[in-house]
């Protein structure tokens, strides 16, 4: 996710001066609301919507320490009433938000499964160094690499130096469970954490030349003994508090900085 070489893209203003616009992309309402409250964001009125009619996506916005913050999440499924999790919703809301809001920086914040074999424990917060997909299997030469979609995330050495975050590779898929074929792909991706949206956010951000970082808090141990769904629900609220703290620290660090300072 290297910045473009000219000043015509979204990075131009941030490179020339301090970062002024941050977009937080988050998958679930439970993860989003603590940050909405922390940054004192307000929900955009219907007449101010930047999204197409019929899209359930939600945007909050406000000012915080010299930054304009927009927080978006894909909303609730209009029929089933559950969070619109997964790669499709995440990619769509990210694309629409970048096109309309032109952020200097994206923070994809959320919860994730972690692998104890790679040193992850519940409550850890990771900054992803790499992202890839583990469920886009296309066994044809070159198409296979496209399906995996491996890419480096935007480098933030100063954030890592300043904040107490772990670093690991992130693998993304559209299923919460981990059947053997997904597990094999995740191992091939050398992933420490897995989620359901990160790599799709990275794909869109890369396409639109917008730097993106990925802050993920571990709710469940993917290679542990407890059922994933049970452990995820058991730890979601407590781990979301750790996520809230970490994202706030990242935003505090970003305030007054240029992209090159991160």
Cβ neighbours of residue 113 under 8 Å, at least 6 residues apart?
Answer: 178, 193, 194, 195, 218, 219, 220, 221, 222, 228, 232
pLDDT digits (tens, 9 = 90+) for 203-249: 999 999 999 999 999 999 999 989 989 999 999 999 999 999 999 99
Paired residues of 54 in beta bridges: none
Catalytic member of 70, 220, 231, 244: 220
Among 23, 29, 91, 31, residue whose Cα is nearest residue 61: 23
Catalytic member of 31, 130, 206, 244: 31
Paired residues of 83 in beta bridges: 76
Q: How far apart are CA 90 and CA 200, in angstroms?
A: 7
pLDDT digits (tens, 9 = 90+) for 128-151: 999 999 999 999 999 999 999 999
pTM of the model: 0.92
pLDDT range class, residue 46, cuts 50, 70, 90: confident
Does residue 46 sit in helix, strand or coil?
A: helix
Q: Is residue 100 predicted with pLDDT exceeding 70?
A: yes
Q: How far apart are CA 200 and CA 156, in angstroms?
A: 20
Q: Is 225 a catalytic residue?
A: no
Q: Is 220 a catalytic residue?
A: yes
Structure tokens at 73: 């999440």
3-state helix, strand and coil shares in percent for the chain, rounded to the nearest 5: 35, 25, 40
CB atoms under 10 Å from CB of 229, counted, come to 11
Mean pLDDT of the chain: 93
């Amino acid at each position: 996710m290297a910045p473009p070489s000219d000043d015509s893209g979204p990075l131009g203003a941030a490179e020339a001066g301090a970062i002024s616009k941050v977009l937080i992309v988050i998958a679930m309402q439970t993860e989003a609301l603590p940050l909405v409250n922390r940054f004192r964001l307000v929900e955009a009125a219907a007449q101010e919507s930047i999204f197409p009619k019929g899209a359930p996506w939600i945007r909050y916005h406000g000012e915080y320490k010299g930054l304009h913050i927009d927080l978006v999440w894909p909303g609730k499924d209009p029929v089933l009433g559950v969070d619109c999790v997964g790669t499709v919703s995440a990619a769509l809301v990210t694309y629409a938000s970048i096109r309309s809001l032109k952020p200097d920086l994206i923070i994809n914040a959320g919860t994730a499964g972690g692998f104890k074999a790679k040193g992850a424990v519940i409550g850890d917060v990771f900054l992803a160094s790499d992202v890839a997909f583990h469920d886009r299997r296309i066994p044809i030469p070159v198409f296979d690499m496209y399906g995996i979609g491996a890419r480096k995330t935007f480098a933030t050495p100063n954030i890592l130096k300043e904040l107490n975050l772990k670093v690991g590779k992130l693998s993304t898929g559209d299923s919460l469970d981990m059947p053997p074929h997904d597990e094999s792909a995740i191992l091939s991706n050398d992933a420490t954490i897995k989620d359901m949206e990160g790599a799709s956010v990275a794909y869109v951000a890369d396409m639109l030349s917008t730097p993106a970082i990925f802050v993920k808090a571990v709710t469940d141990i993917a290679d542990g003994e407890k059922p994933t769904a049970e452990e995820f629900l058991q730890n979601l609220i407590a781990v979301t508090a750790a996520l809230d703290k970490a994202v706030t620290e990242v935003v505090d660090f970003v305030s007054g900085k240029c992209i090159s300072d991160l």
